[in-house]
Every structure is written in C-alpha cells, then in structure tokens.
Amino acid sequence: DTLTKRQREVLSHAVRRGYYEPDSNVTLREMAEELGMARSTLGEHLQRVEQEIMGLVAEDLN
C-alpha cells in the first residue's frame, strides 16, 4: 500500500466531511477534534497523503 492505514483513515474522513470541496467550511481543527488528534498532526498526515497522491499522478502523466 502507498498510504498507511492512518493516512487512509484521515483522507477518507476529509473527503467525507467535504474538506476538498471548493466551498468547504470544514477546518483542520474541527477534523482533528473529530479524529482525536492534534491539528498539527492532522495537517502533517494530509500533507503526506497529498504529496504521495500527487507523486503518483505525476508519474501517470509521464
């Protein structure tokens, strides 16, 4: 697997909550509370997830 179990959980939660929608009002703080983690930890998880996914997309484009 490319993503860890926790990264997949965090990504799934963010997508379910609409975090990636253009008009989203969902904050990292809200999601971090819901997931029982620090906002900074959630931010790190999402950054790593996004980096990994973008790397895969870039590879596919080449």
Q: Are 43 and 34 in contact (CB under 8 A)?
A: no
C-alpha closest to that of 11 among 33, 36, 42, 41: 42
Domain ranges of the chain: 5-61
Identify the DSSP state of 1: -
Tokens of 56: 């895969």
> Could you tell me if 49 and 12 are in contact, meaning their C-beta atoms sit under 8 angstroms apart?
no
pLDDT in tens, 33-57: 999 999 999 999 999 999 999 999 9
pTM strictly above 0.85? yes
Please, what CATH class does the domain formed by 5-61 belong to?
A: mainly alpha
